[in-house]
Amino acid sequence: MKKHNFNAGPSILPREVIEKTAQAVLDFNGSGLSVLEISHRSKDFEVVMNETVALFKELLNIPEGYSVLFLGGGASMQFCMIPFNLFEKKAAFLNTGVWANKAMKEAKGFGEVVEVASSKDANYTFIPKDYVIPTDADYFHITTNNTIYGTEILTDIDSPVPLIADMSSDIFSRPMDVSKYGLIYGGAQKNLAPAGLTFVIVKDELLGKVSRYIPTMLNYKTHIADGSMFNTPPVLPIYSALETLRLLKANGGLAEMEKRNIAKAELLYNAIDNSKIFVGTAAKEDRSRMNICFVMKPEYKELEADFQKFASERGMVGIKGHRSVGGFRASTYNALPIESVQALVDCMQEFEKLKA
Amino acid sequence: MKKHNFNAGPSILPREVIEKTAQAVLDFNGSGLSVLEISHRSKDFEVVMNETVALFKELLNIPEGYSVLFLGGGASMQFCMIPFNLFEKKAAFLNTGVWANKAMKEAKGFGEVVEVASSKDANYTFIPKDYVIPTDADYFHITTNNTIYGTEILTDIDSPVPLIADMSSDIFSRPMDVSKYGLIYGGAQKNLAPAGLTFVIVKDELLGKVSRYIPTMLNYKTHIADGSMFNTPPVLPIYSALETLRLLKANGGLAEMEKRNIAKAELLYNAIDNSKIFVGTAAKEDRSRMNICFVMKPEYKELEADFQKFASERGMVGIKGHRSVGGFRASTYNALPIESVQALVDCMQEFEKLKA
């Protein structure tokens, strides 16, 4: 049976990327060696690293003066690395959910943290909008896509202080204006590569200004100086990222990707909005294109387990909602084809006909 | 042409592990999904994680009271993570080379560092032996195998304070007494798995004693509490590690591995010692079984580039010595078959016949 992979992360990758990665595991570039056993200092891998950085810059239209880094440790490591490098006295945060909270919690170890706004009281079903960013903050931190709640900041907001964005789950999903950000970071395991890789896009001029001692591995300058090769980088995920970016470019880049993501999201949100039994959980104006959350209407609540089973029997994988929201979550990342969304919609409508 | 992979790291992995990994990239456990796109919280991956930890404990005979962790960031990240967790006032180090120095440098950011002995003046060609470990140190740090210089500490030394060992390049190469150590760590990309995975074996009772604030991701307790699943772990390298450990167990465990490693090292060291043109660089009593370093004798120095080319044309990969030692380095990790060592020895003898 064909599987439709709606996992929230690690999540679906393009089949071409998976097949090219498997081939490189068996034999990298016809070298007679696996990509798992080559030196990261070899010429062949240097080419991979350089092209990956170049495609990052080209596809995201990254201006001069920014560095692109590939690190280990996950986005969670950035929650402390960012304050180590940029936090002198005060940092401001927009509280849009669990991940924003984790970033905020770490920053509290370094100084004064200001929460400019929060949608916590509404279980993070919307993105707060009327807030004031303190102009004396070292930076303002946002989480652009909130995987658990299915909300997303779809515009590049203006900030009077350096804007820092966790884009783990929506990087490369739409064209964006990188110049509005001081630092963008994320785990690669949604739209880019397998787990084990973290990307950081940082405006160089922001660095070197804090007074504290920064451990070598936590200092962005270390990794900038050595082109992400200060120590052994996660070789395989970088290779897979390169294949993803090559494909993205061949398929029309971020403008085309956004078009496809809008089409997929509209297809599923329309099905939810026209359903008698399902209902979306996020405020319509803040709906994510990457994670679409929905539950059963109160009068059909007892059918949730039934639908989970029904969908699972039809090849739907990973649609159980996060425990703090319940119900269902379909993650519709770049690599998910619209055919999978259609299969889920068909499944929802078939179930509704049978049960409602 | 058959390639013989003597890379220092990332380095050769068993062909079975490479093939099983490639298969899992295409289809993991017959799930219809790639190991690159499964959730780390899925039941299938939970099984992988649990078995990997269990085999670590079984093969290394790890006593009760120790935790095994799988992290990202590389051994270099441990250079600061260890002091964050264990350094209160003073730490002692044995200086056996570049990597020992890097660990020592990071620790200096946290308090008083004592270098108990160093072989720096001899370009680290031997392991210092007559030294006194200060009994008031929080810990004593060693680098058991020094990849650059080809020296190795082959016994589990006695220390009056917790012994911490970077075993990046010799873990699983011999049976050992883990109970003599407080913490053992390393990058996985030599004897275990592809790049992107770091292992830590830590004695639980040592933790929670320092007074500083430890950022969440840098706190071992975070990862112990969540079984290395506090955030998304490097899924693929953990899967490959599992396959390596399964094979290690099937092949007789660490006693058999040590026998094979001794046989490989003796074969190559004997060829070096009986050569007219090559000479080993490390003190005989401290020779590494993992990285075998040799140069041309002074009177044949000008033949080095010739031999590099000659060997390369015969399928030898990665035998160039580190720039700080020069000459040649053959890394003979667990996965390297003795046939590859024999091929190198044949190549050396053939060259010698032609040129000397």
- Tens of pLDDT, residue by residue over A11-25, are 999 999 999 999 999
The answer on pLDDT for A117 being more than 90 is: yes
Active site includes A102?
no
Q: In this structure, what are the phi and psi dihedrals at residue B317, rounded to the nearest 5 degrees?
A: -115, 135
pLDDT of A50 reads: 98
Splitting chain B (356 residues) into consecutive groups of 10 residues, what average pLDDT does each group show?
Answer: 95 98 97 95 96 98 98 97 98 98 97 98 97 98 98 98 98 98 98 97 98 96 97 98 98 98 98 98 98 97 97 97 96 98 98 94
DSSP tag of B73: S
pLDDT of A235 reads: 98
Separation CA B194–CA A25 (nearest Å): 10
pLDDT of B91 reads: 98
Count of residues making up chain B: 356
Contact between chains at B13 and A1 (C-beta distance less than 8 A): no
Q: In this structure, what are the phi and psi dihedrals at residue A163, rounded to the nearest 5 degrees?
A: -95, 125
The answer on pLDDT for A356 being more than 90 is: no
Is this prediction's ipTM beyond 0.95? yes
Contact by Cβ (8 Å): A277, A301: no
Q: For the residues of A212-242, what is the DSSP string, one character each?
A: S---GGG-HHHHHHTTT-SS---HHHHHHHH
Out of A20, A138, A166, A264, the active site residue is A166
pLDDT of A13 reads: 98
Which among A13, A40, A76 is the nearest to B36, CB-wise? A13
Q: In this structure, what are the phi and psi dihedrals at residue A69, rounded to the nearest 5 degrees?
A: -120, 150
Contact by Cβ (8 Å): A148, A324: yes
Determine if residue B8 is labeled as part of a ligand binding site. no
Separation CA A32–CA B3 (nearest Å): 6
What six digits make up the tokens of B182? 């407080």
pLDDT of B356 reads: 82
Per DSSP bridges, beta strands A112-118 and A90-95 are parallel
Out of A20, A170, A190, A286, the active site residue is A190
pLDDT of A126 reads: 98
| Angle formed at CA A217 by CA A213 and CA A221, multiple of 5 degrees | 75
User: For all residues of chain A together, what is the average pLDDT?
Assistant: 97
Amino acid at A220: Y
* Orientation angle between helical segments B75-86 and B98-107, nearest 10 degrees: 40
Q: What is the mean pLDDT of residues A282-299?
A: 98
Beta bridge partners of A162: none
Domain ranges across chain B: 15-250, 253-355
pLDDT of A25 reads: 98
Chosen CATH of A15-250 out of 1.10.1660.10, 3.40.640.10, 3.50.50.60, 3.40.50.2300: 3.40.640.10
- pLDDT band, very low/low/confident/very high, at A250 (cuts 50, 70, 90): very high
Contact by Cβ (8 Å): A106, A79: yes
Separation CA B85–CA B16 (nearest Å): 38
Q: Which of A40, A32, A43 is nearest to B7 (CA)?
A: A40
Q: For the residues of A154-204, what is the DSSP string, one character each?
A: -S----SS-EEEE-TTTTTSS---GGG-SEEEEESTTTTSSSS-EEEEEEG
Q: How far is A208 from chain B (nearest CA, A)?
A: 17
pLDDT of B1 reads: 86
- Tens of pLDDT, residue by residue over A251-276, are 999 999 999 999 999 999 999 999 99
Q: What is the mean pLDDT of residues A125-143?
A: 98
Contact by Cβ (8 Å): B217, A80: yes
- pLDDT band, very low/low/confident/very high, at A1 (cuts 50, 70, 90): confident
Chain A residues inside the 8 Å CB shell of B216: 76, 79-80, 102, 105-106
DSSP tag of A320: B
Q: What is the mean pLDDT of residues A217-239?
A: 97
Determine if residue A151 is labeled as part of a ligand binding site. no
Topology (CATH level 3) of domain A253-355: Aspartate Aminotransferase, domain 1 (3.90.1150)
Contact between chains at A39 and B218 (C-beta distance less than 8 A): no
Q: Is B73 on the interface with A (CB under 8 A)?
A: yes
Q: What is the mean pLDDT of residues A349-355?
A: 96
Find the residue in B nearest to A22 (Cα).
B22
Same fold, B15-250 and B253-355: no
CA dihedral B300, B301, B303, B308 (to 10 degrees): 130
Q: Is A233 left (phi over 0), alpha (psi -120 to 50) or beta?
A: beta
pLDDT of B66 reads: 98
